[in-house]
Structure 1
Amino acid sequence: MEKQKRQLFLGSLITLGIVYGDIGTSPLYVMKALLADLGSPKYLTREYLIGCLSLVFWTLMLMTTIKYVLIALKADNHGEGGIFALYALVRHQKKWLIVPALIGGAALLADGTLTPAVTVTSAIEGLKGVAFGQNVPIASQNSVIIVTFVILLVLFVIQRFGTSLIGKGFGPVMFIWFSFLAIVGLINLASDPGMLVALSPHYGLKLLFSPENKVGIFILGSVFLATTGAEALYSDMGHVGKRNIYLTWPFVCTALILNYFGQGAYLSTHLAQIKAQTNFENPFYAVLNPDWYLFGVVLATLAAIIASQALITGSFTLVQEAVGLKLLPRMKVEHPSLSRGQIYISAVNWLLCLTTTIVLFYFKTSEHMEAAYGLAITLTMLMTTLLLFEYLRSKEKPIRAVLVLSCFSVIELIFLAASLSKFMHGGYVTVFITLLILGLMFIWFFGNRLRERYADRSEMINL
């Protein structure tokens, strides 16, 4: 019994380190993006904050908790999850299902090039202008970019040596991170517990059509950033097991919600001070007690690095699955440690490094990167919904399948439309990367089909 408890605890700790890096770092930029939608601090109101918190809360509930944790995790292919594993379950039903699998896979790989850049940049920006004695090491945005580039470069370089030793520290760090998010959020929420009215969906729906909302329904493009890690949660099921995700998600979800609400409460109680400013500061860092500030930035940076590491290794796994389904050409797969579960694909690693570096130097600020971020993963989620519909229908659950399709496809189409509104502000980069990967997959898959048909015909003629 004691051994089982120990295994359960270790399994949960590992899950925190592997699965939740992406969604766990969303408090660094979600509220900042929602404030940016206002255009100026003078327009900020308590009603706007409550509406934003309501939209974020219900997005987490509907998209992450209900769709992925309660529904998608049940669609596993011998314990493996993710869009390619889901496609493998339904590919013999209808030939056209290859299309959503290709689009979703390409978009998910494109997202892997954006996440490291946006998360690490958001974390390092917290150090900009902070004095250490008489010196200010990171005095400008150019310094932020250089430090971010060095961190990411080191991260990509160490992949070939294996990350098992570093990986052992991921779980404890992420446990501290989520505990920190919850504590900071709870302390700030205590100053204005009335913000909890945002738990009602009424306030979120009201904000969508309120004149206080300067961008209308397109605000959902920023709201969606709160759930971008949900697809990774499903994809990583094979690494940690669904039971560990079921056990850890309530803790993670609670920590995220408390932090969002704590940021909202802080902004609400400092409205007059904020309205007098010319620009918004990142509310994640604004809520930190000065005594905790440096610790918070260091912890945020570690969490961002872990999120980046998870996306890199997740990309290796995704490419390996795509090769197995003949969606991509064969690549050399290495096992840098004694664990056969840990893989390294050199070509993928350096392509990710190059693309992430280009994204970093092209956008230069996390605010600009956020415009490109989210669009790719919205496409993946929509394609996953289509495949889930076919999976549930094949399990003789037609009513449930129709409900899943009608509910989530409508929500995701609205999110997609909202994300497309940022196309000219950076979303075009996401679309370009997705189309490049999609083109490669399309040519390789259908080229293989033609080659196989030609080989079969030649064989028949020879007979």
Structure 2
Amino acid sequence: MEKKNKIRLGLAIGTLGIVYGDIGTSPLYVMKSIVASNGGLNHVSEDYIIGSLSLIFWTLTLLTTIKYVIIALRADNHGEGGIFSLYALVRKRGKWLIIPAMIGGAALLADGVLTPAVTVTSAIEGLEEIPAFETLFTGNTTLIVMIVITILSCIFFMQRYGTMFIGRIFGPTMLIWFSALGILGIINILGDLSIFRAFSPYYAVELLFSDQNKAGFLILGSVFLATTGAEALYSDLGHVGRKNIYITWPFVKVCLILNYFGQGAWILSLKKIDDPFVNPFFQSMPEPFIMYGVLIATLAAIIASQSLITGAYTLVSEAIALNLLPRLSIRYPSETKGQVYIPAVTSVLWIACLGVVLYFQDSSHMEAAYGLSITVTMLMTTILLFQFLLQKGFSVITTTAILMTFGVLELAFFISSAAKFMHGGFVAVILAVIIMALMYIWFTGYYIKSKLVKSVPIKKFIPSLTKLKDDGAYPKFAHNLVYLTSNRNPARVEHAVMASILDKRPKRADVYWFVNVQVVDGPHTAYYTVENFDTDFVIRVQLKLGFRVEQDINVFLHQIAKDLISKGKLAQQKRKYSTATNRTLGDFCFVLVRDELSTEADLTNWQRSIMKMKLLIKRFTTSPESWFGLEYSDVQLENVPLYLSKKKTRKIREVN
């Protein structure tokens, strides 16, 4: 029993580091942003501070606790969470649901660029508050930017080696961080217990209509920063499990609220201040503790950045499996097979983060860009959650009430954040639009091809394959000739596949394999079905793999072949020469057909443009042999014109 309790405690502490990095570092800049939006500390009243804290408390309660912890965590896809997992659950309810999934996913990836920049910069700016360093760092933006760039570069550089070491200190560090937030909050609250009036929603509503609030409803853009990490609670469901989030969220929320209230109490205790734009987070600390506060804040910011980067890897890998993004090289650091590392994503995020830091220079300007994209993701998640609840049998009245409640709230946050568009929000929009365009091109191109490419019944060609198999006039191309097909119909393949076998140099083999890989909703699903058309040499394999399963086709196919031999459905392929004794399988040759758009393709101008862009993007992505785990296999590449329903061609005649 004691051992189980230790394990549970360890998992709970680990959850603090994996899930709450983003939302846990929000106290670094939320109150600073709220105060700055009203003109600084010299222009805020007691009612303004109480109302702002009330808005923070009820935003965390409604959006994070009720929507994500209580409702969204129930919408798990075999234990996995996040907007793409949610889409996989409900996509059968309507083809249009791909739209909110793409928009939400693109916005969430854009947020992954901004979060590391704003959190690390906010933490490093705390050096200005240390008396010993005040002269060196105050007003020295260049030095702060250089430190931030160095830290961010180190974070991205070590992704390729895995993060086992950092992973070990994630949980304990965040435990110290949240405990420090709570303790510092209590110290400041003890000076003014009246701050607890902020629990009443009356003060939140009153502030929105108060003349003392110069920003009006636009203050919600700053308040929303307190809950930007809420989406991570749902996205990281598969990493930590629902129970661990249930256990840890109350502790995290209490510590966050105590710190926000503590900052508010410190502001109210001020009689006069020379600099109205100081950061209440660091200034509310006892002076001897500020240096340690900056240190632990920097560690927490690094953890938040690492969590967002890891989340981006997971999000991209799921999008690839759902045909929303092109195939990219996916690796697994040696320390743990479960950790995904995508080099292309690392490079793009690193360059984009550095660009954000160099462009904005300080966290105050970054906050204008931050938050806008995540409001879009939350809105899209709400739409998909509405469909999920209907699918689960909830009444239309109940689900509509939930949709309206969260929809109206998030729409208000979106409008208030959108008002910051010209002050930096355009950066988030540009990033999201670029990602969205890439998703649209890839997804649309996939369906244009899948609907229009000519397919043929395999059974029709079995007599020809039988003759070719037994025709000694042609040299044997391979014992096992494998074609990967995108056609999901178990009785058909693309015409180009049969043309490759029969119309080009005929490819004689003992066994012809036609393999299709289908990504299914379950993240860790791995099974197959087989159709042999009453033969022992023509085999159609349908692989059903979850969106988190690595597509190592060579390994899977050898397993399937051995299973078929053991069942007597495939003849043993004894080798005369082999380094292994009693080998029952011959060689495998994989033929990959590479598409080239034909000038004869019968497409509209828009479809042709989409296909051209898709094929252009494809040139910069990982090779098919790398994606399907065939790097060390015998692979033949063939270019085939992509006709897509060949149009009528003009006949030409001879004249004298």
Q: 2:331 aligns with which of 315, 326, 334?
A: 334
1:135 CA displacement: 7.6
1:279 CA displacement: 2.9
**Larger proportion of helix:** 1
SS in 2 for 1:384: helix
- CA–CA separation in structure 2 for the residues paired with 1:3 and 1:34: 46
- CA–CA separation in structure 2 for the residues paired with 1:133 and 1:415: 37
| Structure 1 residue aligned with 2:31 | 31
* Deviation string, structure 1 residues 402-432 (Cα, Å, up to 9, x no partner): 1210110010111100000101100011100
| Structure 2 residue aligned with 1:312 | 309
**Cα distance change, pair 351–264 in 1 and its aligned pair in 2 (3 A):** same
- CA–CA separation in structure 2 for the residues paired with 1:116 and 1:212: 33
- CA–CA separation in structure 2 for the residues paired with 1:138 and 1:278: 12
- CA–CA separation in structure 2 for the residues paired with 1:225 and 1:209: 21
SS in 1 for 2:51: helix
| Structure 2 residue aligned with 1:390 | 387
**Cα distance change, pair 138–388 in 1 and its aligned pair in 2 (3 A):** same
Q: 1:409 aligns with which of 384, 407, 411?
A: 407
| Structure 1 residue aligned with 2:358 | 361
Amino acid at match of 2:25: T
1:292 CA displacement: 0.7
1:117 matched to 2:117: yes
- CA–CA separation in structure 1 for the residues paired with 2:417 and 2:131: 37
1:382 CA displacement: 0.2
* Deviation string, structure 1 residues 233-273 (Cα, Å, up to 9, x no partner): 11001000010000000000000000000000000011x21
| Structure 2 residue aligned with 1:202 | 202
Equivalent pair of 2:137/2:144 in contact (CA under 8 Å): no
- CA–CA separation in structure 1 for the residues paired with 2:218 and 2:131: 38
| Structure 2 residue aligned with 1:43 | 43
Amino acid at match of 2:331: E
Amino acid at match of 2:432: T
1:42 CA displacement: 2.9
| Structure 2 residue aligned with 1:180 | 180
- CA–CA separation in structure 2 for the residues paired with 1:286 and 1:11: 34
1:288 matched to 2:285: yes
1:458 CA displacement: 7.0
Equivalent pair of 2:164/2:335 in contact (CA under 8 Å): no
| Structure 1 residue aligned with 2:418 | 420
- CA–CA separation in structure 2 for the residues paired with 1:145 and 1:108: 25
Amino acid at match of 1:372: A
**Cα distance change, pair 86–151 in 1 and its aligned pair in 2 (3 A):** same
SS in 2 for 1:273: coil
| Structure 2 residue aligned with 1:251 | 251
**Cα distance change, pair 131–290 in 1 and its aligned pair in 2 (3 A):** closer
Amino acid at match of 1:177: W
Q: How many residues align?
A: 460
| Structure 1 residue aligned with 2:446 | 448
Segment of structure 1 superposing worse, 451-460 or 340-349: 451-460
- CA–CA separation in structure 1 for the residues paired with 2:36 and 2:306: 28
Greater relative contact order (CA < 8 Å, ≥ 6 in sequence): 1
Structure 1's unaligned 5+ residue stretches are none
- CA–CA separation in structure 1 for the residues paired with 2:133 and 2:235: 45
- CA–CA separation in structure 2 for the residues paired with 1:353 and 1:46: 42
Structure 2's unaligned 5+ residue stretches are 458-491, 499-656
Equivalent pair of 2:130/2:290 in contact (CA under 8 Å): no
1:339 CA displacement: 1.7
1:454 CA displacement: 1.5
Over the residues paired in the alignment, what is the CA RMSD in angstroms?
1.6
**Cα distance change, pair 139–240 in 1 and its aligned pair in 2 (3 A):** same
1:348 matched to 2:384: no
- With the length of structure 1 as denominator, give the TM-score of the two structures: 0.97
SS in 2 for 1:244: helix
SS in 2 for 1:367: helix
Equivalent pair of 1:138/1:144 in contact (CA under 8 Å): no
Equivalent pair of 2:127/2:133 in contact (CA under 8 Å): no
Amino acid at match of 1:432: I
Segment of structure 1 superposing worse, 120-129 or 175-184: 120-129
Amino acid at match of 1:170: F
Amino acid at match of 1:434: A
Equivalent pair of 2:129/2:282 in contact (CA under 8 Å): no
**Cα distance change, pair 192–446 in 1 and its aligned pair in 2 (3 A):** same
1:132 CA displacement: 4.1
- CA–CA separation in structure 2 for the residues paired with 1:17 and 1:341: 17
Bigger Rg, structure 1 or 2: 2
Q: After the TM superposition, which residues 16-95 of structure 1 pair with which residues of structure 2 at under 5 Å, given as runs? A: 16-95=16-95
1:10 matched to 2:10: yes
Equivalent pair of 2:162/2:335 in contact (CA under 8 Å): no
Structure 1 residue runs of 4 or more that deviate by more than 3 Å after TM superposition: 129-139, 456-463
Amino acid at match of 1:408: F
Amino acid at match of 2:411: L
**Cα distance change, pair 134–232 in 1 and its aligned pair in 2 (3 A):** closer
**Cα distance change, pair 134–380 in 1 and its aligned pair in 2 (3 A):** closer
SS in 1 for 2:288: coil
* Deviation string, structure 1 residues 44-103 (Cα, Å, up to 9, x no partner): 111100000000000000000000000000000000000000000000110000000000
SS in 2 for 1:402: helix
SS in 2 for 1:91: helix
Amino acid at match of 1:448: Y
* Deviation string, structure 1 residues 126-152 (Cα, Å, up to 9, x no partner): 002635489836761111110000000
| Structure 2 residue aligned with 1:432 | 430
SS in 2 for 1:452: helix
Amino acid at match of 1:439: A
SS in 2 for 1:329: coil
1:278 CA displacement: 4.6
1:290 CA displacement: 0.9
| Structure 1 residue aligned with 2:578 | none
Equivalent pair of 1:128/1:144 in contact (CA under 8 Å): no
Equivalent pair of 1:130/1:138 in contact (CA under 8 Å): no
1:327 CA displacement: 0.4
Q: After the TM superposition, which residues 228-239 of structure 1 pair with which residues of structure 2 at under 5 Å, given as runs? A: 228-239=228-239
- With the length of structure 2 as denominator, give the TM-score of the two structures: 0.69
Amino acid at match of 1:365: D
| Structure 1 residue aligned with 2:555 | none
1:208 CA displacement: 0.1
- CA–CA separation in structure 2 for the residues paired with 1:287 and 1:129: 10
**Larger proportion of strand:** 2
- CA–CA separation in structure 2 for the residues paired with 1:211 and 1:134: 36
| Structure 1 residue aligned with 2:625 | none
